[in-house]
């Protein structure tokens, strides 16, 4: 029975390796072993000051297992994975790798054993090219074959194509969207021949197609005996992919289960401890005047790697949420930059806020007119990692909330406003007024969204409001966007998450290759139609 299974697995993987460029699972030395316990973490405790992020947690991963780690934002998942990767030292507990107790002094030690990690907040080099980012991370074993950048570059293209994670190796990372950055992280981790691959929310910025392709790859890796730890808030994915799940809540282990035998609701309930609410659409509210209008906006690509925008037309009325769907890299970043004023439009009249032409004025002046903007990248763009929350609040609201007078900042008021964001948006923080970088991803997102919404903008433009945010927090953020619209604001949401757009938008338009389709009322389109438009096919009734 046992032997039978292994032989079919071997045959399977042989078949696959004919079709696809192989990714070795780093098991050449003991290729016979595709099962058995790979790593066991026991009694792991990690404290940050008085705050316990991990409280004696046990977690074991077997060879060939895809193991899900579930939990709300701030449950301590990333912390646990950083411990496994040697980035953080546990205060208590031990890690047994392949039968031997190990202690990691640095990520190098973990890398030597074959532990590879896809980080939630990217660990990329902004000013290096995709190729260089990947080459820098490859271990010594690959160096033996010579440091051949041209060969590696070809390999990246091959692997990217085979696994649906297309990348052009020569592009500098700073020109890439979050989705494209995610692809680099994944390909980099795959090329490192991992024995244990940790993926911290890898699909939060991938399109469904990209995610599907990734799952195939992950399953192949597992078949070859690689252990996988998989963190995601998308419970459907987890049920499809994983054979075991460990659930954390508030830093504690609350349960283990086989996700295939649970349904999404029961998994969510275990994570949150209570029932997950759904977005309530606001009772019929009035659609008012046009508050944000884009009139034939054409923008050349700001740099050679960016997309140009072609003749974008859109209107958002007060009281309305307009959703913009599209696959990453079709001009979303450029559209956001043009709307926010990070890139100025060629003519002032192409962008109007409350009928005022604003195409030529900067972001601060647009804010003064009652607009607010939430960019896609929360760390580095939406917030400065090494500044306290209240200082981060000053950065975007100093003008609109009269936080500075005669060049002096009113820190007390800033602190009060930031505490208001924290309490109204249920931002979980450790300590008072901590650095933005110490918040878990979803909590920082809640803070950034809350900061802008509490400025009570008349026009809000937001790019990917809920990527990497747990179900509960995502609902809270979406609800806040709807409520803002119900109070008469015009809300424009750029997102790759169709479920999100369908649950909050009044109308949906699709951005493809820098062109925007006409906006269709949400009630009158299906997901399939939007999906086809995202993939670039002309839809007749779109006009």
Partner 1 sequence: MDMTQAVLLTIITAATPLLLAAIGELIVERAGVLNLGLEGMMATGAACGFAAATVSGSTGLGVIVAMLSAMLLASLFAFVTLTLGANQVASGLALTIVGLGLSGLIGAGFVGTSRTAVPGLSMEGLSDLPGFGKVIFGQDPFVYAAWALTLLSIVFLRWTRAGLVLRSVGENQASAHAIGLPVLKIRYWAVLFGGACAGLAGAYLSLVYTPFWSPGMTAGRGWIALALVVFASWFPFRLLLGALLFGGATVLQLHAQAASLGLPSQLLSALPYLATLLALVLMSLGRRGGSAAPGSLGQSFVPDR
Ligand X SMILES: Nc1ncnc2c1ncn2[C@@H]1O[C@H](COP(=O)(O)OP(=O)(O)O)[C@@H](O)[C@H]1O
- Binding footprint of Mg ion on the chain (CB under 5 A): 78, 120
User: Residues 118, 64: contact at Cβ < 8 Å?
Assistant: no
- For partner 1, the binding residue among 33, 36, 147, 255 (CB under 8 A) is 147
What are φ and ψ of residue 247, in 5° steps?
-115, 130
Task: List alpha helices for 454-539, DSSP H.
Answer: 471-486, 498-504, 527-534
Note whether 93 binds partner 1 by CB under 8 A. Answer: no
Q: Which of residues 210-239 bind partner 1 (CB under 8 A)?
A: none
Q: Which stretch binds ligand X (CB under 6 A): 2-10, 18-26, 55-63, 440-448?
A: 440-448
What are φ and ψ of residue 285, in 5° steps?
-120, 165
Q: Which stretch binds partner 1 (CB under 8 A): 116-124, 205-213, 499-507, 513-521?
A: 116-124
What are φ and ψ of residue 236, in 5° steps?
-60, -45
260 binds, among Mg ion, partner 1, ligand X, none (CB under 5 to 8 A by kind): none
Q: Which stretch binds partner 1 (CB under 8 A): 109-117, 319-327, 393-401, 535-543?
A: 109-117
- For ligand X, the binding residue among 64, 74, 318, 331 (CB under 6 A) is 74
Note whether 111 binds partner 1 by CB under 8 A. Answer: yes
469: number of CA atoms within 13 Å, CB side? 26
- For partner 1, the binding residue among 143, 151, 260, 265 (CB under 8 A) is 143
Note whether 203 binds ligand X by CB under 6 A. Answer: no
- For ligand X, the binding residue among 25, 39, 70, 75 (CB under 6 A) is 75
| Number of other residues whose CB lies within 10 A of the CB of residue 160 | 20
Residues with Cβ within 8 Å of residue 18, at least 6 apart in sequence: none
Show the CA angle centred on residue 370, arms to residues 365 and 373, nearest 5°.
80
Q: Which stretch binds partner 1 (CB under 8 A): 104-112, 309-317, 326-334, 366-374?
A: 104-112
Q: Distance between CA 504 and CA 475 in Å, rounded?
A: 10
Note whether 71 binds ligand X by CB under 6 A. Answer: yes
- For ligand X, the binding residue among 440, 466, 479, 496 (CB under 6 A) is 440
Note whether 476 binds ligand X by CB under 6 A. Answer: no
CB of 427 to ligand X, least distance (A): 9
411 binds, among ligand X, Mg ion, partner 1, none (CB under 5 to 8 A by kind): none
- For ligand X, the binding residue among 65, 79, 182, 505 (CB under 6 A) is 79
Note whether 88 binds partner 1 by CB under 8 A. Answer: yes
What are φ and ψ of residue 103, in 5° steps?
-130, 125
Note whether 145 binds partner 1 by CB under 8 A. Answer: no
Note whether 92 binds partner 1 by CB under 8 A. Answer: no
Nearer to ligand X, 248 or 371 (CB): 248
- How far is C-alpha 466 from the chain's CA centre? 8
CB of 71 to Mg ion, least distance (A): 9
CB of 191 to partner 1, least distance (A): 12
CB of 334 to partner 1, least distance (A): 18
* DSSP H or E stretch at residue 147: none
- Beta-bridge mates of residue 59: 41
The torsion angle over the Cα atoms of residues 430, 435, 438 and 440, rounded to 10 degrees, is 90
Nearer to ligand X, 400 or 438 (CB): 438
CB of 70 to ligand X, least distance (A): 9
Q: What are the structure tokens assigned to 250, written together?
A: 């508030």
Note whether 151 binds partner 1 by CB under 8 A. Answer: no
| Number of other residues whose CB lies within 10 A of the CB of residue 71 | 26
DSSP characters for 398-464? TTTTT-EETTEE-HHHHHHHHHHHHHHTT---SSSS-BGGGS-HHHHHHHHHHHHHTT--SEEEEES
Note whether 339 binds ligand X by CB under 6 A. Answer: no
Nearer to Mg ion, 235 or 534 (CB): 235
Q: Give the three-class secondary structure for 161.
A: helix
User: Residues 445, 469: contact at Cβ < 8 Å?
Assistant: yes
Q: Distance between CA 175 and CA 156 in Å, rounded?
A: 18
494 binds, among Mg ion, partner 1, ligand X, none (CB under 5 to 8 A by kind): none
Strand 66-70 to strand 196-200: parallel, antiparallel, or no bridges (unpaired)? unpaired
Residues with Cβ within 8 Å of residue 453, at least 6 apart in sequence: 372, 460, 480, 481, 484
Q: Which of residues 164-183 bind partner 1 (CB under 8 A)?
A: 172
Nearer to ligand X, 457 or 472 (CB): 472
Note whether 48 binds ligand X by CB under 6 A. Answer: yes
Note whether 252 binds ligand X by CB under 6 A. Answer: no
Q: End-to-end CA distance of the chain, in Å?
A: 59
Nearer to ligand X, 311 or 428 (CB): 428
Q: Distance between CA 8 and CA 20 in Å, rounded?
A: 18
Which residues contribute to the site for partner 1 (CB under 8 A)? 85-89, 106-108, 110-112, 117, 119, 122-128, 132, 135-137, 139, 143, 147, 149, 172, 188, 303
Which residues contribute to the site for ligand X (CB under 6 A)? 48, 51, 53, 71, 73-79, 428, 430, 438-442
């Amino acid at each position: 029975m046992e032997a039978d299974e292994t032989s079919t697995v071997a045959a399977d993987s042989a078949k696959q390796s004919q079709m696809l460029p192989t990714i070795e699972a780093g098991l050449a030395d003991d290729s016979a072993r595709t099962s058995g316990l790979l790593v066991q973490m026991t009694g792991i405790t990690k404290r940050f000051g008085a705050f316990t992020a991990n409280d004696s947690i046990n977690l074991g991963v077997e060879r060939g297992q895809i193991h899900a780690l579930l939990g709300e934002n701030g449950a301590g998942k990333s912390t646990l994975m950083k411990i496994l990767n040697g980035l953080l030292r546990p205060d208590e507990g031990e890690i047994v790798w392949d039968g031997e107790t190990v202690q990691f002094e640095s990520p190098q030690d973990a890398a030597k054993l074959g532990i590879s990690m896809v980080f939630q907040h990217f660990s990329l080099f902004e000013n290096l090219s995709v190729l260089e980012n990947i080459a820098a991370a490859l271990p010594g074993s690959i160096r033996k074959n010579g440091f051949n950048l041209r060969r590696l570059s070809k390999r990246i293209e091959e692997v990217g194509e085979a696994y649906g994670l297309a990348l052009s190796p020569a592009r500098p990372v700073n020109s890439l969207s979050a989705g494209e950055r995610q692809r680099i992280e994944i390909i980099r981790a795959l090329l490192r021949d991992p024995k244990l691959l940790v993926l911290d929310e890898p699909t939060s910025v991938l399109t469904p197609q990209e995610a599907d392709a990734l799952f195939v790859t992950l399953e192949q890796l597992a078949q070859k005996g690689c252990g996988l730890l998989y963190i995601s808030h998308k419970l459907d994915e987890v049920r499809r992919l994983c054979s075991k799940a460990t659930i954390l809540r508030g830093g504690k282990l609350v349960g283990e289960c086989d996700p295939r035998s649970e349904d999404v609701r029961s998994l969510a309930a275990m994570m949150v401890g209570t029932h997950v609410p759904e977005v309530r659409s606001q009772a019929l509210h009035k659609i008012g005047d046009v508050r944000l209008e884009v009139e034939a906006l054409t923008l050349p690509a700001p740099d050679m790697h960016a997309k140009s925008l072609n003749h974008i037309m859109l209107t958002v009325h007060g009281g309305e949420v307009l959703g913009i769907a599209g696959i990453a890299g079709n001009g979303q970043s450029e559209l956001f930059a043009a709307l926010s004023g990070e890139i100025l439009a060629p003519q002032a009249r192409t962008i109007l806020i409350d009928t005022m032409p604003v195409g030529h004025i900067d972001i601060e002046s647009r804010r003064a007119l009652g607009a607010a903007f939430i960019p896609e990248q929360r760390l580095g763009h939406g917030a400065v990692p090494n500044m306290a929350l209240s200082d981060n609040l000053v950065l975007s609201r100093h003008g609109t909330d009269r936080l500075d007078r005669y060049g002096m900042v009113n820190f007390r008021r800033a602190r009060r406003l930031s505490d208001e964001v924290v309490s109204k948006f249920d931002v979980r923080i450790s300590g008072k007024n901590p650095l933005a970088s110490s918040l878990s991803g979803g909590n920082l997102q809640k803070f950034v969204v809350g900061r802008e919404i509490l400025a009570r903008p008349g026009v809000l433009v937001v790019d990917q409001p809920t990527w990497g945010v747990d179900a509960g927090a995502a609902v809270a953020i979406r609800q806040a966007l709807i409520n803002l619209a119900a109070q008469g604001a015009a809300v424009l949401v750029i997102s790759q998450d169709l479920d999100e757009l369908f649950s909050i938008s009044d109308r949906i338009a699709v951005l493809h290759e820098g062109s925007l389709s006409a906006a269709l009322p949400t009630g009158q389109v299906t997901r399939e139609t939007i999906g086809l438009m995202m993939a670039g096919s002309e839809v007749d009734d779109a006009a």
